[in-house]
Structure 1
C-alpha cells in the first residue's frame, strides 16, 4: 500500500495544485505538504526495506513477460530517498525563486514538477525494462515544458534540442536494446545476477551495451550530451530538477541498473571490446571538465561540470568492479546534494543581483556571505575534498579503479579532480578576495526561503560526510548484488 501511495501521491498533488490555481498561497501550501508527506512515505519504505520487508506491485500485464510492475531494491530505494528529500527542498526554493523573479505560469510549473517527480519515482521502483522505459519517456515529456517555461525564442530552441536528443536516443537506441533483450530472454525483468548471461556472448554483448549506454541519453555521455547545457535557459529550480533531483540522476541510475541487473559484471568483463564503454566515460569526464573551464556563464559552467560528474558514475559502473559500483552509487547521492547547492546558489545570486556571469562575481562573497559559503561547500564536494561527501564517493571510485586494475580510470579520476578545482576555485577566489566591481558592496541575500533551502542542502553535503552510515547501508547492498553478478 505504501509503495502504491508513493507512486500516486505526486499525481494527487498535481491535481490539488490545478484546483488551487487561483489561490497561489494554497497552491504553494499543497506543494510543500505533498512533498513533505512524500518524504515521510519514502522514509517508511526505507525503514521497512532495511527491516527485511519486501514490497512489489503489478499494475497490469501487457504481454507475457511484459508487465507494468514495481519492486524495492537497494539502488532504487537510494534514488527514491534522494528524490523524496530534494523534492521538498526544491519546492521550498522554487517558491522563493518564482515569486522573487515574478515568473509567469507558476501553476503549470508546479504541476509539471510534480508529474516529473512521479515519473522519476516510477523509474526508481521499476521492476523491469518495460516499466523503466515508459516512465523514462514520461519524464522527458513532462520536463520539456519546464525547459521551455519562459516561452521566448531561446527557450523554444533549447527545448527542441532537449526533446530531440532525448527522444532520438531513447526511441532510436534504448527501445531497440530493450526489444532485443526481450527477444533473447523472453523477459525484461531485472535480476540480481543479470538476465543475458546464457543468451548472448561475444562482440554482440558490447554492441548491446553501447546501445543501452547511448540510448540512455539522460546520462549525458558524449556525444549525446548537448541537451543538458541547452536546457540552462530554464529557471533555476528547473535546472535543479534536471541536474540533481530527477533527470540526470534517472540517467545514471538506469546505467547502473542495466549493468548490474541486465548484463551482470561477469558477462561484460568477458565481452570483447567492452573497454569502449570505459573510454567513452573517461573521455566525457575530461572533455566536459575542459569545456567547463572556458565558460563564463555560471550556469553553463555548472552544466558542463554536471556532464563530467555524471560520467564519474558511468565510469564506476563500467569499471565492472563491485567496489566501483559502490562508489558510483555513493556519487549519485554526493552529486545530488553538492550540485543542487551550487545551482541554488547561482539562482540566489541571479535573484538578488541579476548577475549571471562569473566575471561579474568579484567580491560577491561579502555581499552574499551565506550563499557563497554554501557555494564553497558544494564546490568542495564536486572537487572531492573533505569535509564534503564528494570526497567519500570519489575515494571509492578510485579504490574501484585500483581493484579493477584500470590505469586509465585512475588517471581520469585524478586529472579530472585537478580540472574540477581549476574551474571552481577561481569562482571562490574572486568572490572573497577580489574587490567588488561596484563599491561599496551592500549585503543583500536572496529571499529567506531560498537561502534556507540552499543552507539545508549545503548542511546535508557536510552531514553525509560526517555521518555516512545510512548511505553506506544501501550502497553496500548494491555492492553485494553486483558481486553476485
Structure 2
C-alpha cells in the first residue's frame, strides 16, 4: 500500500484508535485520557495539512476495498472533501480543549470522549467518501456515535431529545439508502465524479432520477435541518455545550449540508440537475428554511434554542448557494460551510461559558453578562455580528458572494431572502448584545456567580477556544484574499472540480 493510500486511512485512525483506547480507560485516568484526546486531535491536524499541501499541488490520495463485486468501500481526498476535513480537524482540536475543561469532574468522561472520537472519525469518513455507499456507511456511523453524546446526561429530557434525534436521523437514513440502492440499480455504481454520473442515463430516466434526487436530498436534509425535517435540532440542545458545538459546527448539520453539495455536483452534476429543473425547488426549500429558522429564533428565550434555530437558518445558506446555478453562488455556499462553522462554534462555546460560570441559560438572564465576562461576551458579539453579515466578519464575505451569485443566476428574489434573513438575524442577536453590554447587573445575582475579571473570568480551557474562533471569524474576512483563506480554497474547488464552471 502506497503513502497516498495510507494517508486517508491515517486521518481516520488518528481519532478512531485513541477513541477505542479511551473507552477502556478507568474514569480516574484523567491524564492519560487527556493526552490521548490531544494527541489524536493534533496528529489529525498535522495529517490534514499534509493532504492539503498534496492536493493543492495536484496530488491524488485515495484507497479502495472491495466489499462485494461491484460494491467498494472507497475513500478519496479531493479539494471539496478537504474543505470539510480541514474545518472539522481545526474545530475538533478546540472542541476537545473545551470539552476537557467543561467536563472536569463530570461522570462518564471515558464514554463521552470515546464516542466523541468516533463522531469525528465518522465525519472524516463522510468528507473522504468516494461513492454513495461509503458516504452512507459513515453517515449512519455518525448517527450512532452522536446519539450517546446527545443523551449523555441521562435525564428524562436528554433521553427524549435523543430519541427524537435518533428517530429523525434513522428515517432520513432509510430515505438515503433507498435512493442509493435505486440509483445503483440503474447505473451499476454510485461513484462521485466531476460533472456527475446521472446524466449518463439520458432523458428517458428523468422521472426516476427526480424521485431519487428527492430521496437523497431528504436523507441528507434531515441532518442539514431543512424545513420540515428540522424538528430534531432544537430538541437536541439538551446535550452538553461541547456536543451542541459539535452538532452545529463540526459534524452533524455540516455532514448534511456537505451531502447536498456532493449529490448536486458529483452525483447529478450541476448542469444536468439544472436540466431536470431540480435546482429551483432546492433553492425554494433552502429559502423557506432560511426565513423560517430566523423567524423562530426570535421567540426563543432559551439561549441554546435561539442558537439552534439560527443554525436551521444559516446552514441552508449552503444549500441555497448550491442551488444558485453558476460559480459565484457555488463559492458563496462553499465558503459559508466554513464561515458558519467558526461563527456558530464561537456562539455555543460562549453559551456554555455563561451556563457553567454564571448559571445563565436564557436570553432574559443576560443582563450585565458582558461586565462579568467581557472576553466571553466580546467573542459572542463577534460571532453574532458575523451571523448578521456585519462588515469585517466572515459572514459578510459569505453573504456578499451569495448575493452576487443570486444576481448572476437571475434569481433576484433570493437576494430578498438573504436581506430578510440578515434583518431577522439582527432582530434576535442585538437584544442579547444589548442586555449583555448595556443592561445593569441584577442586584439579586448570587455572589458565587460573579467571577473575577479579565482572563480569569472562567477556566482558561473554556475561554481560549471561543477567543480563538472569534479571531478566526475576523481573520477569515480580513485575509479573505490570502492564498490559504477559506474563500481562496472555495474558488479553487469551483475552478478544479465542477465541469463547465470557471471560478471568477
TM range (shorter): over 0.9
User: Residues 385-410 of structure 1, C-alpha deviation per residue, up to 9 Å, x if partnerless?
Assistant: 12211111111111111111112211
1:19-67 deviation per Cα after TM superposition (whole angstroms, max 9, x unaligned): 4333112211210121011111111111111112111111333231x21
Counterpart residue number, 1:175: 177
- For the 8 Å contact 1:384–1:390, the answer to whether it is kept is yes
User: Post-superposition shift, 1:465?
Assistant: 1.3
Out of 428, 442, 446, the position equivalent to 1:437 is 442
Q: How many residues align?
A: 481
Deviation at 1:274, TM superposition (A): 4.7
Contact 1:203 1:271 in 2 (8 A): no
Moved more, 458-467 or 151-160: 458-467
Name the SS for the 1:57 alignment partner: strand
Greater displacement, 469-478 / 278-287: 469-478
Matches within 5 A, 1:442-457: 442-444=450-452, 445-457=457-469
Q: 1:161 aligns with which of 156, 161, 164?
A: 164
**Secondary structure, counterpart of 1:437 in structure 2:** coil
Q: 5 Å matches for 1:27-426?
A: 27-64=33-70, 66-99=71-104, 102-171=105-174, 173-201=175-203, 202-216=206-220, 217-272=222-277, 274-426=279-431
Q: Alpha-carbon deviations, 1:111-166, whole Å to 9, x = none?
A: 00000000000000000000000000000000000000011111111111000000
1:459 maps onto 2:475 in alignment = no
1:330 shift after superposition: 0.2
> What is the Cα deviation at residue 283 of structure 1?
0.5
1:204 CA drift (Å): 4.1
Distance, in Å, in 1 between the alignment partners of 2:154 and 2:451 is 33
Contact 1:206 1:268 (C-alpha < 8 Å) held by counterparts: no
- 8 Å CA contact retained: 1:325, 1:482: no
Q: Secondary structure at the match of 1:61?
A: strand
Distance in structure 2 (CA, Å) of the matches to 1:104 and 1:31: 17
Q: What is the Cα deviation at residue 207 of structure 1? A: 2.8
Alignment partners' CA distance in 1, 2:408 and 2:209: 23
Deviation track 1:267-309 (CA, whole Å, cap 9, x = no partner) reads: 1212246522211111010011000000000000000000000
Q: Secondary structure at the match of 1:198?
A: helix
SS at the partner of 1:191?
A: coil
- Tell me the SS of whatever aligns to 2:63: strand
- Residue ranges of structure 1 left out of the alignment (5+ in a row): none
Task: Report the TM-score when normalising by structure 2.
Answer: 0.93
Which of the numbers 7, 14, 20 marks the counterpart of 2:12? Answer: 7
Residue deviations 1:56-86 (CA, integer Å, cap 9, x gap): 111333231x210011111100100011111
Distance change >3 Å, CA 153–CA 439, structure 1 → 2: closer
Q: Which residue does the alignment assign to 2:500?
A: 484
Provide structure 2 residue ranges, at least 5 long, that are not aligned to the other structure: 1-5
Contact 1:313 1:328 in 2 (8 A): yes
What SS does structure 2 have at the residue aligned with 1:197?
helix
1:175-201 deviation line (CA, Å, top 9, x unaligned): 111112212211110010100013154
* Aligned match of 2:3: none
Please say if residues 279 and 325 of structure 2, whose CA atoms lie closer than 8 Å, have aligned partners that are also in contact: no
Whole-Å separation in 1 of the counterparts to 2:61 and 2:363: 48
SS at match of 1:70: strand
Contact kept in structure 2, 1:148 and 1:158, CA below 8 Å = yes
Structure 2 CA distance, aligned partners of 1:149 and 1:156?
A: 9
TM-score (norm 1): 0.96
State the alpha-carbon separation in 2 of the partners of residues 358 and 343 from structure 1.
14
C-alpha distance in structure 2 between counterparts of 1:327 and 1:62, whole Å: 39
Name the residue aligned to 1:24: 30
CA contact (8 A) 1:323 1:397 kept: yes
- Helix, strand or coil for the counterpart of 1:355? coil
Quote the offset at 1:436 in angstroms. Answer: 1.5
Tell me which residue corresponds to 2:432.
Answer: 427
Contact 1:116 1:246 (8 Å CA) reproduced: yes
Which shows bigger deviation, 278-287 or 174-183? 174-183
CA RMSD of superposed structures (Å): 1.5
Instruction: Give distance in 2, aligned partners of 1:433 and 1:212.
Output: 47
Partner Cα separation in structure 2 for residue 359 and residue 191 of structure 1: 50
